[in-house]
Copies of this chain bind each other. A is one copy, B any other.
Amino acid sequence: MKVNFSRLFGKPLKTTDLAHQAVSNPIGLAVFASDALSSTAYATEEILLILSMAAGAAWAGQGGAVFGLSLPVALAIAALLVVVTLSYRQTIHAYPGGGGAYIVARDNLGELPAQIAGAALMTDYILTVAVSISSGVAQITSAFPALLPYRVELAVGVIIFMTVVNLRGVKESGRVFAVPTYFFLVTMFLMLGVGFVRYLTGALPTAVDVDALRHTTLEPLTVFLVLRAFSSGCTALTGIEAISNGITAFREPRSRNAALTLSWMSGILVTLFLGITFLANQIHALPSETETVISQLARTIYGAESLFYLLTLAGTTLILLMAANTSYADFPRLGALLARDGFLPRQLTYRGNRLVFDWGITLLAVLAALLVVVLDARTSALIPLYAIGVFLSFTLSQSGMVRRMYRIGKLRPGEVRQGLETALTYDPVWRRQMIISAVGAVCTGIVMVVFAVTKFTSGAWFVVVLIPLIVAVFAQIHHHYKHVAQNLSLNGTRPELRVHPVQTIILVDDVHTETVELINFAKSLGHPWKAVHVAINPEKAERTCAKWQERIGEGELIVLESPYRYLVAPIQEYVSVLQREQPGCFVHIIMGQLVMDTLWEQSLHQNSAMIFDRAFSRIDNVAVTTVPYQIHRVE
């Protein structure tokens, strides 16, 4: 059975198709903003979830006051967002070719910080898929509670669908991506607008009938708890770095357009996040396993029967799926960067025959699906694993920028120094820029520590252990490639090419038309040759000898005894005998291989060629030739 892969995965794409058609700023916003904007779907909810531990589930009495804390927490997060945005604008100008955390860290801080950034980003791309799809499915089950028991199946189904789509290669990115992003923005701003109008006119009701989470043991409202709520809300910042990775997609002047788009994106993000948090407070939204805060908000504002309610949830779901989809592009691209630098298997640099990195996509999908299954597609269970990696990469990237500005400050005016990726030129504003990046690095670094500490027992420990492990694997792989490169290096010399004597042996199992082909090839090479038969079955060996005399009658057929019925060992021994007889010679082993049309037919044959290949590859100065012999099916 032949599977038509090109029907499933689409036609192959040319390398030259890679050159992006540059996109306008609104399209660029749509393409790169989905990850960042989508986090508004869960960030507020995660703040409320932590605060609910102190508030219980009721809005009566003190509960309301505790939930009211969500607003100052959100404001602090918004302030952090502004700092990070300012810092990343600088990165965009410094790295017009694309300034992801891995590249900036490698360029300014060295190999180890780059590896750490790489490991952090890889874990977070996986988590972006898991979190976004889980949250997307939660929006769907909010609207259709009957689907709740199937959320894991739904989430895995979406992952599989997305994987197939991405293995096909998404050529039509830009315009197609714009539709869901702007659909989301329209529905979201409409909901916030209607909500505010109803709030101002005093017509905003409170959410009812929420199956709220009830905590059996209430925790006291400590600074620790508020910090936990803050770090949960910081997931709003995830994805903000996307534009700095994709600068090359923008029109010239690229850096300016990208930076402008980043500012727009941050502005929209802050507005949405604060708006949602404020209104959630007003309607007394409660974190719940069965209904998302966005759903509660839309339901309260529009009413559950309203079409706008469903449209709002549809928009939210779409943007979440788009966010997951960005990881499908970023993860393989990062894998390829790491592979190019020898930290991951070289195979990851191979673009398949599609303009995508098949390997990376498959790996991402498998790991994300695993997380979804293990953590039951619950967003709140995934959040503690998330964001540590993001903030670690923020910190490393901005520290790299600090280092860069410092080095620029050391230059004389007009001096240029070549870095790994970009040239450094003196810039009088280096000190101001260094301070901005330093503030950003310190803030995100503190958030990362807060996150790791406050979420440690609820899942963050896993990532704290995982990232060093990944770095250790990177180091192992790097060490191996260095070793191989040393072994293969010609050390800049011109090697001496040498002719060696060649001893040719033909492996003969039986005497038939395939054997004739083998002998024809050996004769065509023009070297003296010997045929060799391994006598696994002594009677068969005798028959083969007789047939050889009768049918071939040329050359010598040597029978190698094999009392233990080993197939390979007698040949290995014979090869070493030949090599001792004529030191420095090549032993050229020629063997046949029956080739069938289908896999099942092939599986009915010994396929000894593969066994031999592996075994003989361990001997020095051997060359192994297989002469394929086709046997076609009669249809």
Q: Which residues of A contact B (CB under 8 A)?
A: 12-16, 345-347, 350-353, 477, 480-481, 483-484, 487-490, 493-495, 497-502, 510-514, 516, 519-521, 523-527, 536, 538, 550-554, 563-566, 586, 588, 590, 593-595, 601, 603-606, 609, 613, 616-620, 622-628, 630-631, 633-634
Contacts and interface: CB of A to CB of B under 8 A. Distances in A.
B604 A551 contact: no
A607 B16 CA distance: 27
A495 to B, nearest CB: 5
A523 B593 CA distance: 25
Contact of A490 (B551, B618, B625, B630): B551
Given A347-B606, A498-B520, 18 more contacts: A353-B564, A481-B604, A483-B633, A484-B631, A487-B513, A489-B513, A493-B551, A494-B550, A495-B516, A497-B516, A497-B520, A499-B524, A524-B586, A525-B527, A526-B526, A595-B617, A623-B627, A624-B627
A551 B586 CA distance: 23
Nearest to A339: B604
A523 B499 contact: yes
B628 A618 contact: yes
Contact of A624 (B550, B616, B626): B626
Contact of A14 (B483, B538, B563, B628): B563
B563 A16 contact: yes
A565 B628 contact: no
14 contacts: A353-B565, A483-B633, A490-B551, A493-B551, A495-B516, A498-B520, A499-B520, A499-B526, A500-B520, A502-B525, A525-B525, A525-B588, A619-B628, A624-B626
A480 B487 CA distance: 47
A13 B562 CA distance: 11
A516 B499 contact: no
Given A489-B512, A631-B487, A617 B626 contact: yes
A551 B491 CA distance: 10
Contacts of A16: 563
A618 to B, nearest CB: 7
Nearest to A349: B537
Contact of A551 (B495, B524, B550, B630): B495
A311 to B, nearest CB: 42
Contacts of A623: 521, 590, 625-627
Nearest to A562: B15
B586 A521 contact: yes
A623 B526 CA distance: 15
Nearest to A513: B488
Given A490-B516, A634-B483, A346 B552 contact: no
Most B CB atoms within 10 A — which of A16, A513, A514, A524?
Answer: A524
B624 A630 contact: no
Contacts of A487: 513, 631
A346 B502 contact: no
A480 B488 CA distance: 46
Nearest to A622: B628
Number of copies: 2
Minimum-distance CB pairs A-B, first 8: A617-B628, A488-B512, A625-B625, A12-B564, A495-B516, A595-B617, A500-B524, A623-B627
A19 B605 CA distance: 28
A421 to B, nearest CB: 17
A363 to B, nearest CB: 14
Contacts of A618: 595, 628, 630
Contacts of A527: 525-526
A495 B483 contact: no
A14 B631 contact: no
A569 to B, nearest CB: 9
B480 A606 contact: no
Contacts of A493: 551
Contacts of A552: 494-495, 497
Contacts of A631: 483-484, 487-488
Nearest to A14: B563
B501 A524 contact: yes
A493 B516 CA distance: 12
A483 B604 CA distance: 12
A517 to B, nearest CB: 9
Given A565-B353, A593-B617, A624-B625, A604 B346 contact: yes
A490 B511 contact: yes
Contact of A513 (B495, B512, B594): B495
B502 A601 contact: no
Contacts of A626: 613, 617, 623-624
A213 B493 CA distance: 86
Nearest to A526: B526
A411 to B, nearest CB: 30
A604 B480 contact: yes
A489 B594 CA distance: 14
A515 to B, nearest CB: 9
A593 B16 CA distance: 30
A251 B459 CA distance: 71
A499 B566 CA distance: 33
Given A566-B353, A626-B613, A497 B554 contact: yes
A228 to B, nearest CB: 40
A565 B500 contact: no
A14 to B, nearest CB: 5
Contacts of A586: 521, 524
Contacts of A633: 483
A499 B493 CA distance: 39
A564 B495 contact: no
A335 to B, nearest CB: 14
A594 B484 contact: yes
Contacts of A494: 550-553
Most B CB atoms within 10 A — which of A16, A488, A493?
Answer: A488
